[in-house]
């Protein structure tokens, strides 16, 4: 066979040539809608690449973005790597000090930024070392002096001469969201992004097709919006970008007006969507069977059931910054289609089956755990889109085993059918009297209670048992509940020693910039909370 490189310029060219009329719809900060066709996108992405080279971008150099999800970000997704550069998506929700650290650590040379985010840049620009700042004039306001105008660069560019790209060349970069410790950088090769696109598009993964209308709500700065922009362009799907308006009503309006068939985001987004649908069940006429890819944190079974009632299908997936990110996705294999309803829902709440070329094992001190659905171990993974190192951090090499697997830090069981179930992060497990208790299982059960909106379970010290679980609960507006009422609700579902000794009711659970519960903050907040059974 020919040796043909797996590089992103092929996807860009294919998109422009084969699907010139596919649409890219973006909602802008003023809520107006911007539309362009793939033929425009192709031309403009090449023009951006050409301008970056004229400004001096060299092979392998990093171009940062600080942008919402919209057409110009998509142009950068392809324009930067096709010019030989590395697209480094900065997380605009981080503290300015962290963004400055990350931009400096990555050695970002240029920055492309939405004009509406310029006030954020002012808070850290002096510490970041960008040589050039290119402003996307989304609001039409004049571009400040000392910055380049994105639209002018694109309009005046010469044709792009794509440099010879190798598939192992770096194309993208993202830092871990790091609920503890400093964020760590992961560099994605062209090859990893292309292979990940093929896998993501498979029918039993996201099932992306040309006829789809795809709306990534997951930010384009959160692990390449889970690879969806690359895979969608590969198949020529319509793309619908929400811009900065991520409230439930704005999203539901967009789904309806653009006929969205596939969307993706973290569970917190869907909690809001569900509440809006339940409050006004007849208001939005959505595409029946719209797929919702949900990941980044565990999806409670009650959420999957609730969306089913609205004819919307949750696709539960698992991934990490270090895995590009998708590693497992849940679908019902043909051998489970005859299972009873409860068994099917319990299965669908698991994190799913590994993608092709994505290998998993649950590692214990005695070796890999059997795939029996009970034996827990650390999830270790390997495959062509799993990172082999962190950018510029030799000290972290112990995250990889000697036999070449990546240690995820997640504790899992794997059942005989190959379904992976996350029981916890290693550091979040509760160890009571020598036995492990899964905080994720308790949380998922608690949010199934009709009065509970959100729940976190953490370990608190206990004189006799070492640790005991404490539940921290946010109730739905206008509801009251007692700790005993919630314990009674959990009692038939778990062994007695799993039941939280106490429940703290709070108004909010702290979440990270990518929607994860910040348990380290909760542990600090509740560190003096004694179990009521001691």
Residue 320: CB minimum distance to ligand AMP, A: 4
Q: Which is nearer to ligand AMP, 52 or 522 (CB)?
A: 522
Among 232, 277, 422, 475, binds ligand AMP (CB under 6 A): 422
Q: Which is nearer to ligand AMP, 295 or 354 (CB)?
A: 295
Residue 174: CB minimum distance to ligand AMP, A: 8
Residue 333: CB minimum distance to ligand AMP, A: 18
Q: Is 501 in the site for ligand AMP (CB under 6 A)?
A: no
Binding letters toward ligand AMP, positions 504-533, x by CB under 6 A: ----------x-------------------
Q: Which is nearer to ligand AMP, 114 or 410 (CB)?
A: 410
Residue 400: CB minimum distance to ligand AMP, A: 15
Residue 156: CB minimum distance to ligand AMP, A: 38
* Cβ burial 465-474 (10 Å sphere, 16+ → b, else e): bebbbbbbbb
Residue 319: CB minimum distance to ligand AMP, A: 6
Contacts with 338 (C-beta within 8 Å, 6 or more apart), sequence order: none
DSSP 171-197: EEEEE---SSS---EEEEEHHHHHHHH
d(CA 306, CA 278) in angstroms, rounded, equals 9
Q: Which residues are catalytic?
A: 176, 322, 431, 436
- The rounded Cα 114 to chain-centroid distance in angstroms is 21
Alpha-carbon distances, residue 389 vs 162, 327, 360, 407 (angstroms) = 28, 17, 18, 12
From the list 26-34, 269-277, 317-325, 335-343, the region that binds ligand AMP by CB under 6 A is 317-325
From the list 146-154, 276-284, 314-322, 479-487, the region that binds ligand AMP by CB under 6 A is 314-322
Contact 66, 90 (CB under 8 A): yes
d(CA 135, CA 142) in angstroms, rounded, equals 10
Q: H or E segment at 123? A: none
Among 213, 261, 302, 321, binds ligand AMP (CB under 6 A): 321
- Range 324-383, binding ligand AMP (CB under 6 A): 325, 351
Q: What is the CA radius of gyration of the chain?
A: 23
- Range 161-180, binding ligand AMP (CB under 6 A): 176-177
HSE-CB of 369 using CA atoms within 13 angstroms: 24
Q: Is 502 in the site for ligand AMP (CB under 6 A)?
A: no
Q: Which is nearer to ligand AMP, 79 or 515 (CB)?
A: 515
d(CA 20, CA 18) in angstroms, rounded, equals 6
Query: Looking at beta carbons, which pairs linking 31-37 to residues 24 or more positions away fall under 8 Å?
Result: 31/245, 31/250, 34/70, 34/71, 36/71
Residue 175: CB minimum distance to ligand AMP, A: 9
Q: Which is nearer to ligand AMP, 103 or 297 (CB)?
A: 297
Among 408, 438, 439, 531, binds ligand AMP (CB under 6 A): 408
From the list 73-81, 161-169, 291-299, 388-396, the region that binds ligand AMP by CB under 6 A is 291-299
Measured at the CA of 222, the angle between CA 297 and CA 423, to 5 degrees, comes to 20
Helix, strand or coil, per DSSP, at residue 64? strand
Q: Is 298 in the site for ligand AMP (CB under 6 A)?
A: yes
From the list 209-217, 233-241, 318-326, 380-388, the region that binds ligand AMP by CB under 6 A is 318-326
HSE-CB of 266 using CA atoms within 13 angstroms: 19
Q: Which is nearer to ligand AMP, 180 or 285 (CB)?
A: 180
Pairing verdict, β 262-265 and 238-241: unpaired
Other CB atoms within a 10 A radius of the CB of residue 323 amount to: 24
- The rounded Cα 186 to chain-centroid distance in angstroms is 14
Helix, strand or coil, per DSSP, at residue 474? strand
Total binding residues toward ligand AMP, as defined by CB under 6 A: 20
Q: Is 297 in the site for ligand AMP (CB under 6 A)?
A: yes
Residue 512: CB minimum distance to ligand AMP, A: 8
Among 296, 377, 383, 500, binds ligand AMP (CB under 6 A): 296
Q: Which is nearer to ligand AMP, 85 or 296 (CB)?
A: 296
Residue 379: CB minimum distance to ligand AMP, A: 8
Helix, strand or coil, per DSSP, at residue 122? helix
Task: Write the burial class of residue 372 (CB in 10 Å: 0-12 exposed, 13-18 middle, 19+ buried).
Answer: exposed
Q: Is 218 in the site for ligand AMP (CB under 6 A)?
A: no
From the list 22-30, 160-168, 290-298, 490-498, the region that binds ligand AMP by CB under 6 A is 290-298
Q: H or E segment at 26? A: strand 23-27
Q: Which is nearer to ligand AMP, 109 or 184 (CB)?
A: 184
Q: Which is nearer to ligand AMP, 216 or 319 (CB)?
A: 319
DSSP 395-461: GGGGGB-TTS-EEEEEEEEE-TT--EEEEEEGGG-EEETTEEE-HHHHHHHHTTSTTEEEEEEEEEE
Binding letters toward ligand AMP, positions 244-283, x by CB under 6 A: ----------------------------------------
Q: Which is nearer to ligand AMP, 236 or 325 (CB)?
A: 325
Residue nearest to ligand AMP (CB): 321
Q: Is 425 in the site for ligand AMP (CB under 6 A)?
A: yes
Q: Where are the beta strands (DSSP E) in 62-184?
A: 62-66, 86-89, 108-114, 132-136, 148-149, 170-175
HSE-CB of 231 using CA atoms within 13 angstroms: 29
Residue 223: CB minimum distance to ligand AMP, A: 6
Residues that bind ligand AMP (CB under 6 A): 176-177, 223, 295-298, 316-321, 325, 351, 408, 410, 422, 425, 514
């Amino acid at each position: 066979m020919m040796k043909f490189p797996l590089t992103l310029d092929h996807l860009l060219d294919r998109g422009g040539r084969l699907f010139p009329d596919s649409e890219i719809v973006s909602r802008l900060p003023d809520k107006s809608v911007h539309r362009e066709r793939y033929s425009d996108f192709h031309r403009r992405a090449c023009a951006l690449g050409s301008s970056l080279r004229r400004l001096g971008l060299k092979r392998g150099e990093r171009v940062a973005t600080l942008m919402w999800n919209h057409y110009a970000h998509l142009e950068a997704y392809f324009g930067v790597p096709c010019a030989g550069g590395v697209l480094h998506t900065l997380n605009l929700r981080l503290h300015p000090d962290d963004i400055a650290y990350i931009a400096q650590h990555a050695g970002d040379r240029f920055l492309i930024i939405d004009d509406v985010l310029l006030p954020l840049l002012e808070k850290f620009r002096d510490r970041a070392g960008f040589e050039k700042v290119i402003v996307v004039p989304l609001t039409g306001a004049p571009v400040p002096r000392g910055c380049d105008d994105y639209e002018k660069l694109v309009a005046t560019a010469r044709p792009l001469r794509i440099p010879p790209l190798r598939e192992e060349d770096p194309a993208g970069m993202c830092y871990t969201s790091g609920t503890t410790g400093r964020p760590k950088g992961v560099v994605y090769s062209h090859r990893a992004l292309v292979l990940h696109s093929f896998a993501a598009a498979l029918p039993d993964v996201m099932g992306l097709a040309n006829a789809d209308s795809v709306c990534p709500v997951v930010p384009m700065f959160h692990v390449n919006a889970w690879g969806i922009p690359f895979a969608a362009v590969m198949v020529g799907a319509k793309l619908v970008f929400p811009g900065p308006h991520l409230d439930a009503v704005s999203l539901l309006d967009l789904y309806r007006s653009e006929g969205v068939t596939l969307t993706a985001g973290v569970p917190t987004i869907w909690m809001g969507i569900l509440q809006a649908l339940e409050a006004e069940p007849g208001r939005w006429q959505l595409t029946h069977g719209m797929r919702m890819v949900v990941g980044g944190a565990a999806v409670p079974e009650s959420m999957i059931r609730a969306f089913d009632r609205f004819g919307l299908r949750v696709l539960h997936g698992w991934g990490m910054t270090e895995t590009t990110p998708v590693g497992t996705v849940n679908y019902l294999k043909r051998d489970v289609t005859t299972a009873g309803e409860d068994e099917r829902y319990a299965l669908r709440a698991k994190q799913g089956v590994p993608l092709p070329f994505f290998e998993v094992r649950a590692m214990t001190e005695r070796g890999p755990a059997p795939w029996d659905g009970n034996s827990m171990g650390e999830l270790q993974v390997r495959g062509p889109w799993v990172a082999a190192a962190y950018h510029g951090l030799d000290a972290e090499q112990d995250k990889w085993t000697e036999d070449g697997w990546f240690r995820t830090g997640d504790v899992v069981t794997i059942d005989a059918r190959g379904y992976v179930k996350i029981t916890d992060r290693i550091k979040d497990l509760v160890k009571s009297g020598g036995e492990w208790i899964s905080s994720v299982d308790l949380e998922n059960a608690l949010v199934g209670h009709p009065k509970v909106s959100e729940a976190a379970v953490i370990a608190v010290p206990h004189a006799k048992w070492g640790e005991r679980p404490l539940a921290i609960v946010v109730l739905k507006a206008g509801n009251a509940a007692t700790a005993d009422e919630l314990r009674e609700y959990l009692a038939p579902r778990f062994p007695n020693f799993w039941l939280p000794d106490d429940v703290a009711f709070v108004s909010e659970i702290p979440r990270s910039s990518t929607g994860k519960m910040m348990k380290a903050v909760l542990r600090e907040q509740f560190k003096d909370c004694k179990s009521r059974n001691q």
